[in-house]
A and B are shown apart, each in its own frame.
Chain A
Amino acid sequence: MTQLYTALFTILIGIGAAVVYFGGSNWLLDRAFPVRGPGGRVAGDRVAGDRVARNIRLAGLIRPWLFLGPAILALGIYLVWPVAASVWLGFRSRDGSAFVGLENYRWLVTDPVFRESMLNNFLWLLVVPAAATFLGLVAAALTDRISWGNLAKSLIFMPMAISFVGAAVIWKFVYDYRGEGEQIGLLNAIVVALGGSPQAWIALPFWNNFFLMAILVWIQTGFAMVILSAALRGIPEETVEAAVIDGANPLQIFFRIMVPQIWGTIAVVWTTITITVLKVFDIVLAMTNGQWQSQVLANLMFDWMFRGGGDQGRGAVIAIVIMVLVIPIMVWNIRGARAEGGGP
């Protein structure tokens, strides 16, 4: 319990510090560059008026940086600097003490487990965003037209709240395999009921990847559904009505009229899930820990970070590979945000 009190105490300290910083720095700024005369009235004479104008300008120059300061500091320490440091560590030895040039990269391209991870990650990238987006689109389109659609949406969306590890436990039970006796895993029970022979699904090289992917698809479909559902509702009525008058059937209306109008949103959903896929770590760690040829980049990186005391150089170059794979999406996002305009 003590640690919970410590946590609550820390929250108070944190909020207090934030209030003191933001309030205090603002108070100081107002004192240093007063823009109001005594009693709150703007000073009347010209000399004072010039000073007030100058003070307003100076305060306006400084204030944004007071507001932004803590955020920039935290982002700098926790995201910007580490990216640069990781690139630097990629050229150094396992404890970071010596420069080794491209040695880590040379190791990377010849490492069979890395190749396996790349191949698996490629499969994940191919299957998961497509499957989750498609299922989400179908779920959005279907649930929008029935009376209990909101309840259905809630239930499909729910896995989003479950941790990857929790989901791994849930699905490991579905995939459970018994050498003898009654199968208590749902999948094997169904297979047996249909006359097949039970399998240890997550230990089947190559195919086990797909059983792991199913977990992420299960989690991400709700996300895709929620966003695509909102986009579908935003489609102007007239376009659909025109198609109805022209005699299009519901399927044609959906794929020819509605889907093309939400391509932008589909792309956003797709790329968001793609990034999640690249970072997938918990599911693989909990299900197989990379055994039976199911290794992926993020888990491999974690492995090298701690294996035998940790190899910083090799861990860093694997992280850099993940980063490089993300960069196209990053550039596309930034372009999108800039095209939209920097502000109101």
Chain B
Amino acid sequence: MSGGMAGRAEGRVGRRAGLTWAVHLSVLLLVVLWTLPTAGLFVTSLRDRDQIAVSGWWTALATSTQSLVFRAPAGEGEVEEAGRFVLRGTVLDGGAGRVTAFGTSSRAPAAFGPGETADLGDGVRLTVAADGGYELSGPQSFKAGRGQRIFHTAEVPPRFTLANYAGVLGAAGLGRSFLNSMTVAVPATVIPILVAAFAAYALAWMRFAGRGLLIAAVVGLLVVPLQMALIPLLSLYNGLGQAFGFDPKTYIGIWLAHTGFGLPLAIYLLRNYMAGLPREIIESARVDGANDFEIFTRIVLPLSFPALASFAIFQFLWTWNDLLVALVFLGAGDDRLVLTGRLVNLLGSRGGDWEILAASAFVSIAVPILVFFALQKYLVRGLLAGSVK
């Protein structure tokens, strides 16, 4: 990482191949470090749940050797051949793979090679072939027992499946939460924009007493921690709910809360952008007799599209990814949980079930990632406008 970092200077110093390689490798290392955690969970979300639990996701692309247990059915499907009861089937779930050893007890799970016959006593015999096919035979019907356990070691090829996603969208309530997140994020993104745009124009192009003070106030409010607002607002909502007899945890409540919390950034971003528009355009419109309302709606608003887009992306990502505001103003009720809240619940209740967690996480991550890659240009622009002084 200590390679030359002098940007454009390098070309003039003269190309040093080693240095260039060091830069390439350092960036590669950074990129790998930054993408590997996400990639790991993504691969996991597509893996078979049995495989997730026994092998690391990095083995998913190669054939893995696994120690597995199969329980033969208790007599179901048995046939009588020459006075013996015979059960046939395969020990490999999904069919593909190769058995390299098998056994009949957990103490010696690999006592026999494929094709060998194990004698279980009382005339019961078991054979497992390399392709996973087994034959269990004995003098008595197997219907009386609980089903013979067959321990086996198998080389299982990588298997990818969408079953985890299908599972969580149905059973884990994730589909519902996805809708809830949408319901919260879209209006909470749209509502503040017009309100902020008018205010930003006033702060950028209108002259009135107290303007400097208001701009300073907006800058100050930018950093007020949300935590300061939660308790009074929650009791205000509860009070209003009691007074007028409605449930204080409503979507309208959270939309307005997100609007209030998002306004400082919206006004700040839009004001900075609008203040940078060419003065001549606005002055000449004024000379032509246009008032501020006309100048704003006909000239400034259309010109400010890039800044509006930047803010919309910020606000959408923030409201979609938010947990705190949703927990406080929408509650933790099962039918109101947004995706982030659902994920936290799953972490608590299904902490070890990575097939559920991984698929759920990616359902919640998918939308912001799509927005990110599609609209990155505006996001970067907004960040620069919001931070670099």
Enumerate chain A interface residues (CB-CB to B < 8 A).
Answer: 1, 3-4, 6-8, 10-11, 14-15, 18-19, 22, 26, 30, 35-36, 42, 59-61, 63-65, 67-68, 70-72, 74-75, 77-83, 85-86, 89, 96, 135, 138-139, 141-146, 148-149, 152, 154-166, 168-174, 176, 181-186, 189, 218, 221-223, 226-227, 230-232, 237, 240-241, 243-244, 249-251, 253-254, 258, 264-265, 268-269, 272, 275, 278-279, 281-282, 285-286, 298, 301-302, 305, 312, 315-316, 318-320, 322-323, 326, 329-330, 333-334, 336-338, 340, 342-344
Contact = CB atoms under 8 A, between A and B. Distances in A.
Contact of A227 (B179, B204, B383): B383
A223 B386 CA distance: 12
Interface stretch (B1-9, B70-78, B102-110, B123-131): B1-9
A334 B219 contact: yes
Interface stretch (B49-57, B135-143, B303-311): B49-57
Nearest to A151: B31
Given A71-B263, A279-B225, A169 B27 contact: no
Contacts, number: 398
Nearest to B192: A74
Interface string B325-361: 0011000000000011001100100000010011011
17 contacts: A22-B293, A60-B208, A68-B199, A68-B203, A81-B232, A83-B224, A142-B30, A145-B23, A162-B368, A173-B41, A189-B56, A251-B2, A282-B323, A286-B343, A338-B212, A342-B211, A343-B215
A162 B321 CA distance: 7
B388 A227 contact: yes
A164 B360 CA distance: 14
B365 A163 contact: yes
B384 A226 contact: yes
Nearest to B34: A156
A36 B376 CA distance: 46
Contacts of B222: 333
The 10 closest A-B pairs by CB, nearest first: A78-B260, A250-B4, A163-B321, A85-B232, A71-B199, A161-B372, A250-B6, A82-B229, A67-B202, A141-B5
Contact of B344 (A4, A10, A165): A165
Nearest to B16: A250
A342 B7 contact: no
B27 A149 contact: yes
Interface residues of B, number: 131
Residue with the highest number of chain A CB atoms closer than 10 Å, among B182, B364, B388: B388
Nearest to A96: B235
Contacts of B44: 173
B389 A340 contact: yes
B187 interface: yes
Given A71-B199, A166-B361, A254-B6, A11 B220 contact: no
B285 interface: no
A249 B354 contact: no
A112 B368 CA distance: 39
Nearest to B360: A169
Contacts of A251: 2, 4-6
A154 B225 contact: no
B372 A160 contact: yes
Nearest to B53: A184
A244 B339 CA distance: 53
Contacts of A269: 387
Contacts of B190: 11, 14-15
A83 B57 contact: no
Contact of A63 (B2, B261, B292, B364): B292
A174 B202 CA distance: 49
A89 B35 CA distance: 45
B23 A146 contact: yes
Contacts of B34: 155-156, 158-159, 218, 221-222
Contacts of B259: 74, 78
Given A155-B35, A275-B225, 17 more contacts: A1-B179, A18-B195, A35-B291, A71-B263, A82-B228, A89-B232, A170-B38, A174-B37, A181-B54, A253-B9, A282-B323, A286-B343, A302-B327, A319-B231, A330-B220, A342-B212, A343-B203
B255 A10 contact: yes
Main secondary structure of the interface of B (DSSP, over half): helix
Contacts of B368: 161-163
Main secondary structure of the interface of A (DSSP, over half): helix
Contact of B37 (A8, A171, A318, A323): A171
Interface in B216-230: 216-230
B228 to A, nearest CB: 5
A173 B357 contact: yes
Given A79-B264, A80-B221, A184-B354, A156 B30 contact: yes
Contact of B220 (A18, A231, A320, A334): A334
A258 B6 contact: yes
B169 interface: no
B123 to A, nearest CB: 36
Nearest to A88: B232
Nearest to B252: A10
A250 B15 CA distance: 12
B324 A302 contact: yes
A343 B344 contact: no
A265 B53 CA distance: 46
B116 interface: no
Contacts of A86: 228-229, 231-232
A75 B323 contact: no
Contacts of B13: 244, 249-250
B214 A68 contact: yes
A343 to B, nearest CB: 6
A315 B208 contact: no
B256 A78 contact: yes
A26 B5 CA distance: 56
A265 to B, nearest CB: 6
Contacts of A85: 231-232
